[in-house]
Amino acid sequence: MSSDADTGTRWPMPGEVPKPRELQEPRKLRADPIGPGSLTWTHFGDIRGLLYLGRAGTLQNMHPAVSGALQDHSNFFDNPLDRLFRSLPPIYGVVYDRTEEGTGAVVRNFHTELKGIDETGGRYHALAPDTFWWTHVTFFEVILDFNERFAYKKFTPEQKDQLVREAVTWWRCYGLSDRPAFDDYASFRTYWEDMLDNHLINTHTTKWSTRIAEHDIAPAPKVPTWLWRLTSRPTMAVADWISKALMPEKARETLGWEWTPRDERMYFWFARFLTLTDRFWHLLPRRLQYAPRAYSGIRTQDL
């Protein structure tokens, strides 16, 4: 059998029967349940996770394909809060609704027609597994980051692996390929750092949303217009600071966000408050601990 010096490919000699290529067995991912008693069930719907909305949304929008879908197919720039408050409850529902309700398929089908050319010139489709997996990761990563920063009782290495395995089950609710997925914490960390270092950029969408406090945006749902006019700018400024405070340092650098010693001192007290109150959080009634859609599912299923 001869070979190609440039590529290392070996070609059969005349009369030689090539050996059949060995087929690789499909990769088998471990997956843990996400129902009552799981880490995802206990932590994802925690109302304090709403502190991460700006952070998670910005990290998603740093992906060129996600940014392209927002630019081409969304009312995000006209009414960003409307999109936010419409999108979040179904995401909670994927975890907290009964399986037979098929909420994951509903969320997936929202994205069926979202395709086009992103700002880097690449083609995108919102249901491309690599793209959708990134948005999925930014949701379950909130649980890990909140615990690492603010929780009184930290996750063990075994619990971190368990949470990632639960994220596989959560992912499968969408009915997409397992190809981009992983099932252990070490693989998550490798993927997360690679995305921050090599794939996320300061997109048109993140450049706009970074200045959101300067824009005259529509009121949040159920907030009277007159009240929104009085409170919108300070509210959005606080939300912007929290996003910066929670943002990974590498992403902050990519976005060109300034982080000063004064910001660091403010963050110290912000983090201290959350850590101290975490000791007593479990004493609150569940309806105060969880976001409404999550609490509804917990009340129905977690008997």
Structure confidence by residue, pLDDT tens digits, 213-223: 677 777 877 88
pLDDT at residue number 150:
97
d(CA 58, CA 244): 10
Taking CA atoms, 51 is separated from 46, 161, 238, 271, in Å, by 10, 24, 11, 12
Tell me the residue type at 97.
D
d(CA 61, CA 204): 9
Q: pTM here?
A: 0.87
d(CA 200, CA 248): 12
Any idea what DSSP says for residue 152? S
Specify whether the CB–CB gap between 147 and 270 falls below 8 A: no
Name which residue leads in pLDDT, 201 or 77.
201
pLDDT at 1 over 70: no
d(CA 86, CA 25): 41
User: What's the number of CA atoms in the CB half-sphere (13 Å) around residue 171?
Assistant: 30
Which tokens belong to 212? 């959101």
- Report the percentage of the chain scoring pLDDT > 90: 71
pLDDT at residue number 162:
98
pLDDT at residue number 36:
93
pLDDT at residue number 211:
78
Tell me the residue type at 191.
Y
Q: Picking from 9-18, 129-138, 141-150, 191-200, which range would have the lowest pLDDT averaged per residue?
A: 9-18
Taking CA atoms, 302 is separated from 41, 96, 298, in Å, by 9, 10, 5
Which tokens belong to 47? 């109302």
- The secondary structure element, H or E, covering residue 124 is strand 123-125
pLDDT at residue number 90:
94
pLDDT at residue number 18:
40
- Tell me which residue has tokens 């909305």: 53
d(CA 80, CA 167): 27
Structure confidence by residue, pLDDT tens digits, 255-290: 999 999 999 999 999 999 999 999 999 999 999 999
pLDDT at residue number 229:
86
pLDDT at 22 over 60: no
pLDDT at 23 over 50: no
Structure confidence by residue, pLDDT tens digits, 123-165: 999 999 999 999 999 999 999 999 999 999 999 999 999 999 9
pLDDT at 298 over 60: yes
Report H helices in the chain: 39-43, 53-61, 64-73, 80-96, 103-109, 129-150, 157-172, 185-198, 204-210, 225-246, 249-255, 261-278, 286-289, 292-301
Structure confidence by residue, pLDDT tens digits, 231-249: 888 888 899 999 999 999 9
Structure confidence by residue, pLDDT tens digits, 33-50: 999 999 999 999 999 999
State phi, psi for 124 to the nearest 5 degrees: -135, 155
pLDDT at residue number 241:
95
Q: How large is the C-alpha radius of gyration of the chain?
A: 22
- pLDDT range class, residue 80, cuts 50, 70, 90: confident
